[in-house]
Each structure stands twice: as C-alpha cells, then as structure tokens.
Structure 1
Amino acid sequence: MTETSSSAGPGSSLLGPADVRRLAAELDIRPTKKLGQNFVHDPNTVRKIVAAAELSPDDVVLEVGPGLGSLTLALLPACRSVVAVEIDPVLAAKLPETAADRAPDLARRLHVVPADAMKVTAADLPVQPTALVANLPYNVAVPVVLHLLAELPSLRSGLVMVQAEVADRMAAGPGSRVYGVPSVKLAWYADARRAGPVSRSVFWPVPNVDSALVAFTVRDTLPSTVDRRALFTLIDAAFAQRRKTLRGALAGWAGSAAEAERLLTVAGVDPGVRGEQLAVSEFVRIAEASALR
C-alpha cells in the first residue's frame, strides 16, 4: 500500500491514503456509522474491483455512495460513463471537482446525482445504467441492490462490495446454512456468486467487519410473470419462522395451515420441508398456485 497517488491509465490518477485524508479534512468530513461510510484508499483494490466487474467500453456504470471518489476515478477509464448517486450533499458537490482535477480527459463521463439510492428511479438518472459497481453502505446493502434491480431494468450485471456475512447470504444456494430472504430475492433477478474477499486495511476508517465482493448477472427473462410483490411477501413469510416446516410457516400467509398444505401440494412442493430448502423457481410455483385461488 502506498501513501502516494497511483496512475490508473491515461488521463486518470487514483487516490492514495494521503489523498483521501486530505480531501476529508478539506471538506471537514468525518466518516459516520449512520451512513455506513468507510472510504477505500488503496489504488490496487479499486483496480481489482474494476477488473472483476468485467466492464465493456459501452457500459454505463451506476455507482452508489462514491464518497471521495476512489472507485469513481478507477471506473471512468473503463466504461462509457459513470452515474454516481451520492446522498451526502457535500461529497456530491466535491466529486465533479475531484474528477476534473485528477482525470481531466475523462471528467465529462461523470454524472453525479445527489440522491438517496433507496429512492432513485429510472426517471431520476440522466442515462440508464447497464452495470452496478459500488462499495455499498453495509447497513442498507441488500435493500439498495433489490431496489435498484426493481427500478432499473437496464441493469445487466453488478459487482458490489458488502459485509462478508452479507455476501455469503446474497450468493447462497438452497440448503446452505445462510440461505435466506436476500438469497432468494436476489436469485429472482440474477445469478449471484461471491467474487473474493477485501482486506479491512484498505478502508479508512478500518471497519470492524470483513468485506467481500458479490458479482451478479441479471437474467434475460425472469422465472415467471408472477407479481414480484406477491412473491416477495411469500418469501418473507417462508423465512419468518425458519424452524417451522412450510405448512406451518405459511399458515398465516395462506389463511390456514390446511390451505398452505393444499397450495404447496398444487405447486408440487413437499409441505414438510423448510423454506431454506427451496429454490426461487419453487417459490414461484407456490405464488402461481396462490394466484389461481
């Protein structure tokens, strides 16, 4: 790890630890747990993230929570444009200046949207993104990813940095100990996999949890035309009482244990299994059976 800036390629200079602290001091920024702010200050790490994202020159990247711009500067040379959504107005105002200063030939590719990513819709963005690449605030990582997938049908792929335990849950398959609501809901949109660990030492301040990357590829077609909200309500119910079999866990959702058993049987699902044993396609079949009532 170096205390100096490193070149990311033609026209771009990445932020090192000294740069990050200098910018934070200039803006009187003190990273807060409330916003989940941990700034990446290692140039090699952001290079690896961009490489792992496998972007094409035509990609439009959506970056959530760009902060001081460490990852933003590495993304600019790798794609057609970057749409950076930043909730902190001070950071949002500074980012274009940082890009103009350190990547003057590429700064025109950056579009900064001062907004809460949990409320962003396609209409709020100047150009529609094809890839999500972000160091996500740990406290809202899963809701942000699911919200963006629901609101931005142009997204085709993603690579996000999240808390290691969250990464495990997002990429887990049926039968895994950590398979749950995030796993199934993300699987409805995309195929996800863990894409490697990230050292605590590359952040400032150093977090007290481990981090990891999750990569996902959005499917060309969703598993079903079933209503997403109805499906997600079913998934929530199935995991609300993990120790119960689906016959019991879905009793409230279906209206009674007997009706839950009937719907499960119609869907070809054993009423005696637990939610953690079902793939998203099986949840879709249950939702379809319910829709026919």
Structure 2
Amino acid sequence: MAQSQLLGPAEIRELAAELDVTPTKKLGQNFLHDPNTVRMIVAAAELEPDDVVVEVGPGLGSLTLGLVDTVSRVAALEIDPRLAGRLPRTVAERAPEFADRLAVINTDALQARRADLAAVGAEPTALVANLPYNVSVPVLLHLLAELPSIRRVLVMVQKEVADRLAATPGSKVYGVPSVKAAFYGDVSRAGTIGKNVFWPAPNIESGLVRIDVTSGHPRDLRDAVFPLVDAAFAQRRKTLRSTLAPLYGSAADAEEALRAAGIDPGLRGEKLTVDDFVRLGEARRGA
C-alpha cells in the first residue's frame, strides 16, 4: 500500500511562508515537523482501516498526512481559514491516492457539533490530534461529550496536562480533568514528546494521552456528576462535607448524601474515584 509523503522541517517552513502564516500563541500553534513523531502518534492510536478520525488543529498537515493513509476518513477541524483552505491541496499533492478521505471543517473545535461531522459523512470512531495547548482540556471534554461514537482518543498535550489527565486518586496532580476524562474511559500516558519536533519549539515538553472509551458510565449522568467534581476540587484543602455543602444546601445534607454513598465526609476530593462521584451523581439525580 502506498504511503503519504510526510512533511519535514523544510516543507513546513515553505508552506508557512507561502501562506504568510506565523505561528501564534493565541491559537496554540506549534507545527509538528518530524515524520518519526507522526508515525509514533499514529501507531500509539492503534487505528483500524475502517476507523473515522476527527483531528483538531491540523495546521499545515503533518499529522493529517500520517492519518489519511491509515484510516477510511479524516475530518479535520481547523479554525484558521488559510490553513483550512490549503490542507486539501497539501494532501492531494503528497497523498493523492488518499485525498478523497479528507474532509476539512473550518471551525473552532470548541463550537463543533455532531451535525457538522455528519454533514461531511463522518461518524468519528477516534480522536487523534496535537491539541492546541491553551484549550486542550476543554476541547477534549467537549468532543467526548459531543461525539459519543468515539471509541479511542490519542492526543498530544502539554506534559503537565498529560500527567493531570492520567493521574489516579491520591496523587498531587489528580483533579477535575483526571476525573472528567476517567468518566469516559481508561486514561493512560502513551509517551513523552520533546520540544525539537516542533516549529517554533515550545518551552515545554509534550505528552501523549490515550483514552480507551468505555460505556461504563451512562452519558446522561454527566450533568449530575460533573458539578460534584467541580465543587469537590474547588477548595482542595477542605473536606467533602464542606466543599459539597453549596450543592446540597447545607454541610449536614452533604454529609448525609456522602454517607449514603459509602463515602467518608471527612475525605478530600482527591481521594475519590470516578466511581465514587458517579454513585453520588446517581443518588443526587434520583433524589
């Protein structure tokens, strides 16, 4: 099977110059220019030929080229109209056999809707992306909520964010992103990426996060569970009896709910698993 011609540093700079694109911090742009890193990301995602991938922030097309020759369809969400306009031609030039597998949607990923993907014939089974670092967690959680067909996630984020997403109860970095990501499935670290595979090189290392999306927790519980998670970590030094009091009306009512769910009211939020929060959410919704 033919393979895409991946982009290297020279090609990235040529494309940027052609489009008069200067990477901006506001859009979280750091263009990936190392073919080996692209291959590593695609391999870590363990995609199948019939997968439909949604990619966020394809930029100049480095990862896109690594995806189109691997899966049946790639729906790329790109906020910058210049980049969105050039991407189909880049794929046609460097992966002509697979150009018809690409659909580009010029939109902010935080505003993307399931209907937008359906309009281009995509019911995504996977999210694979080098996420814009300034909005990585909001974008990840939005797309997991909006696209219930996704079964696999492999995203690149800041290393510290990767650590938080994959953290387990009791660790110092376990918090809101950890619990909310775990609500959707099994979260794990899938590697660390150095600075020099990007142009411009960021000041931080990056990390790969993989989520194997399971149907363990009913999606319709999210609105009952997530406010509990936000409240539990809003004041990390306080006990759950105290932090959840505003949601239940009083500390006494919060304590009663916690005890009914088999949770010690004297614990802090960082000790609770996603299953604990789900039990609380189920009881709260049913009350």
Alignment TM class, shorter chain as reference: over 0.9
In 1, the alpha carbon distance for the partners of 2:190 and 2:219 equals 30
In 1, the alpha carbon distance for the partners of 2:106 and 2:47 equals 24
In 2, the alpha carbon distance for the partners of 1:203 and 1:89 equals 21
In 2, the alpha carbon distance for the partners of 1:31 and 1:179 equals 32
CA positional deviation for 1:255: 1.0
Which residues of 2 match residues 167-186 of structure 1 at below 5 A? Answer: 167-186=162-181
Give yes or no for the alignment of 1:19 onto 2:21: no
Give the structure 1 partner of residue 251 of structure 2: 257
Give the structure 2 partner of residue 72 of structure 1: 64
Aligned equivalent of 1:96, options 78, 81, 88: 88
Q: Residue 180 of structure 2 contacts residue 226 of structure 2 at CA under 8 Å; is this kept in 1? A: yes
Q: Residue 63 of structure 1 contacts residue 132 of structure 1 at CA under 8 Å; is this kept in 2? A: yes
Give the structure 2 partner of residue 199 of structure 1: 194
In 2, the alpha carbon distance for the partners of 1:247 and 1:274 equals 9
Give the structure 2 partner of residue 275 of structure 1: 269
Q: 1:225 to 1:86 in 2, by over 3 A?
A: closer
Letter in 2 for 1:148: L
CA positional deviation for 1:122: 1.1
Q: Residue 221 of structure 2 contacts residue 278 of structure 2 at CA under 8 Å; is this kept in 1? A: no
In 1, the alpha carbon distance for the partners of 2:37 and 2:144 equals 25
Which residues of 2 match residues 85-124 of structure 1 at below 5 A? Answer: 85-124=77-116
Give the root-mean-square deviation of aligned CA atoms: 1.1
Which residues of 2 match residues 20-39 of structure 1 at below 5 A? Answer: 20-39=12-31
Aligned equivalent of 2:260, options 266, 273, 277: 266
Aligned equivalent of 2:210, options 197, 209, 215: 215
Q: Residue 224 of structure 2 contacts residue 284 of structure 2 at CA under 8 Å; is this kept in 1? A: no
Q: What TM-score, normalized by structure 1, do the two folds share?
A: 0.95
CA positional deviation for 1:292: 3.4
In 2, the alpha carbon distance for the partners of 1:158 and 1:263 equals 34
Q: Percent identity of the aligned residues?
A: 64
Deviation track 1:184-220 (CA, whole Å, cap 9, x = no partner) reads 001111111000100100000000111010011100x
CA positional deviation for 1:224: 4.2
In 2, the alpha carbon distance for the partners of 1:225 and 1:212 equals 27
Give the structure 1 partner of residue 36 of structure 2: 44
Q: Residue 200 of structure 1 contacts residue 207 of structure 1 at CA under 8 Å; is this kept in 2? A: yes
CA positional deviation for 1:254: 1.3
* Gaps in structure 2 of 5+ consecutive residues: none
* Gaps in structure 1 of 5+ consecutive residues: 1-8
CA positional deviation for 1:228: 1.2
CA positional deviation for 1:176: 1.1
Deviation track 1:116-146 (CA, whole Å, cap 9, x = no partner) reads 1111111001211101000000111111111
Give the structure 2 partner of residue 243 of structure 1: 237
Letter in 1 for 2:35: P
Q: What secondary structure is seen at the aligned counterpart in 2 of 1:242?
A: coil
Q: What secondary structure is seen at the aligned counterpart in 2 of 1:195?
A: strand
Give yes or no for the alignment of 1:166 onto 2:181: no
Q: Residue 96 of structure 1 contacts residue 110 of structure 1 at CA under 8 Å; is this kept in 2? A: yes
Letter in 2 for 1:161: M
In 1, the alpha carbon distance for the partners of 2:285 and 2:252 equals 17
CA positional deviation for 1:286: 1.3
Deviation track 1:32-74 (CA, whole Å, cap 9, x = no partner) reads 0000000000111101111111000000111000000000001
Letter in 2 for 1:233: P
Q: How many residues align?
A: 284
CA positional deviation for 1:287: 1.6
Give yes or no for the alignment of 1:84 onto 2:76: yes
Q: What TM-score, normalized by structure 2, do the two folds share?
A: 0.97
Give yes or no for the alignment of 1:227 onto 2:213: no
Give yes or no for the alignment of 1:187 onto 2:182: yes
The structure where helix makes up a greater share of residues is: 2
Aligned equivalent of 2:123, options 125, 128, 145: 128
Q: What secondary structure is seen at the aligned counterpart in 2 of 1:174?
A: coil
